[in-house]
């Protein structure tokens, strides 16, 4: 019998966003420069300790520890110290959140049968991003915040204070931003740097490698936010919407802002000629001054405007449109 030839069907490669589609220029180099310099200094310290071990500590005191000897185990500890510091800072930074989540349990977890609106937003974003579904918890707290805890697929924590004071599209944009941090692998390092910035002096001494990473990282934290913002804009298709959400969150977090939701909405949606309207001019100046006073907020807004106009941005949006077509998702309104 004639042998039937079987044609191998090539599996169609799944189209998905890659980090190179949206990563802000210089962000990757900024991160590895900071980590590399820090690790290099600690490796140098380990080598110097090995070379001068006798004069520093004396051979008799440090030889024969468990049959390994000081130079080996001490050098290993010195080299891994920065990574241990990051891990310790993550644990310390999330201990209260972890306790709150453990206490409220499934009552606060965002699931299809529990906070279905939030779950739908999360699931839609993750589907377009081609990621595993992260956990999300809604904690009862008047303070407005949203952040991500590392581990597994990631855990996004949102307060009721933020949810209740934002419109659905605002919260959707901020959730997309957090997913951007998860997908870009920012969470552990940004969380550790944020923790050490506000830690008490004792922990700053104990975890001093983080101070070195923060010092050498320079503007990496800002660049990481730019990257996550780009990711969020690609998922939502609305740069103006993300900028609006960022300003709203900043207003909610600053009790001295003295800007009402109505004033902010008018400012963000204004398309009239304010040069002939004294009230509009005053409002524009006051809110504009507030935005410029917030760390990096004005730069983030301007970077979004530049991204959607750039060739890189146009290419990324075209790819995102194709991903939406393949997923059967609705095309977003341009913004």
Q: What is the CATH code for 20-235? A: 3.30.2010.10
- For the range 107-115, what are the long-range contacts, defined as Cβ-Cβ under 8 Å and sequence gap of 24 or more? 108/137, 108/138, 108/139, 108/140, 109/135, 109/136, 109/137, 110/135, 110/136, 110/137, 110/138
Query: pLDDT tens digits, the chain, 335 residues: what are they?
Result: 455 545 555 455 668 889 999 999 999 999 998 888 888 888 787 777 666 655 555 555 545 444 444 556 666 667 788 889 999 999 999 998 888 898 888 899 999 999 999 999 999 999 999 999 999 999 999 999 999 999 889 999 999 999 998 999 999 999 999 999 999 999 999 999 999 998 999 999 999 889 988 888 878 999 999 999 999 999 999 988 898 899 889 888 887 877 777 777 777 666 554 444 566 666 677 777 888 888 888 899 889 989 999 999 999 999 999 999 887 766 676 55
Q: State both tokens at 108.
A: 């606060």
DSSP string of 227-271, one letter each residue: HHHHHHHHHHS-HHHHHHHHHHHHHHH-TT----HHHHHHHHH--
**What is d(CA 85, CA 208) in angstroms, rounded to the nearest whole number?**
8
pLDDT of residue 1: 46
User: Among candidates 31, 30, 24, 25, which has minimal Cα distance to 233?
Assistant: 24
Which H or E run contains 158? Answer: strand 155-159
Q: State both tokens at 139.
A: 């904690």
Q: How many CB atoms lie within 10 A of CB 326?
A: 13
Helix, strand or coil for residue 147?
Answer: strand
**Angle, to 10 degrees, between the axis of helix 311-327 and the axis of helix 116-129?**
110
Residue whose entry in the numeric block shows the structure tokens 């609106």: 117
Q: How many CB atoms lie within 10 A of CB 77?
A: 12
Q: State both tokens at 191.
A: 């969380």
pLDDT of residue 305: 87
Q: Are 31 and 220 in contact (CB under 8 A)?
A: yes
pLDDT of residue 72: 61
pTM of the model: 0.84
User: Among candidates 23, 17, 15, which has minimal Cα distance to 228?
Assistant: 23
Strand order in the sheet with 146-149: 135-139, 155-159, 146-149
pLDDT of residue 170: 93
| Residues whose CB falls within 8 Å of the CB of residue 112, separated by 6 or more in sequence, listed in order | 119
């Amino acid at each position: 019998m004639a042998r039937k030839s079987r044609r191998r069907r090539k599996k169609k490669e799944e189209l998905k966003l890659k980090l190179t589609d949206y990563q802000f220029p210089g962000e990757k180099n900024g991160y590895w420069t900071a980590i590399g310099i820090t690790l290099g200094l600690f490796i140098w310290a380990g080598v110097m300790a090995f070379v001068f071990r006798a004069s520093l500590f004396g051979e008799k005191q440090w030889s024969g520890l468990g049959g390994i000897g000081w130079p080996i185990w001490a050098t290993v500890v010195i080299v891994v110290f920065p990574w241990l510091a990051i891990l310790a800072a993550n644990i310390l930074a999330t201990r209260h959140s972890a306790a709150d989540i453990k206490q409220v349990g499934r009552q606060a977890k965002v699931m299809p049968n529990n906070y279905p609106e939030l779950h739908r937003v999360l699931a839609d974003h993750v589907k377009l991003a081609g990621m595993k579904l992260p956990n999300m918890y809604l904690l009862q707290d008047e303070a407005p915040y949203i952040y991500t805890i590392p581990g597994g697929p990631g855990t996004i924590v949102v307060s009721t204070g933020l949810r209740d004071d934002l419109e659905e599209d605002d919260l959707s944009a901020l959730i997309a931003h957090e997913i951007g941090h998860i997908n870009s692998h920012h969470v552990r390092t940004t969380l550790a740097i944020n923790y050490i910035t506000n830690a008490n002096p004792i922990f700053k001494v104990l975890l001093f490698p983080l101070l070195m990473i923060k010092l050498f990282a320079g503007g990496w934290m800002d660049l990481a936010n730019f990257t996550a913002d780009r990711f969020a804009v690609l998922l939502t298709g609305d740069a103006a919407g993300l900028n609006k959400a960022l300003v709203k969150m900043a207003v909610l977090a600053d009790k001295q802002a003295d800007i009402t939701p109505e004033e902010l909405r008018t400012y963000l949606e204004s398309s009239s000629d304010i040069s002939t309207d004294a009230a509009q001019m005053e409002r524009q100046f006051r809110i504009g001054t507030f935005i410029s006073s917030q760390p990096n907020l004005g730069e983030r807004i301007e970077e979004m405007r530049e991204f959607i106009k750039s060739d890189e941005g146009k290419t990324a949006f075209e790819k995102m449109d194709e991903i939406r077509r393949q997923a059967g998702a609705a095309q977003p309104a341009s913004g």
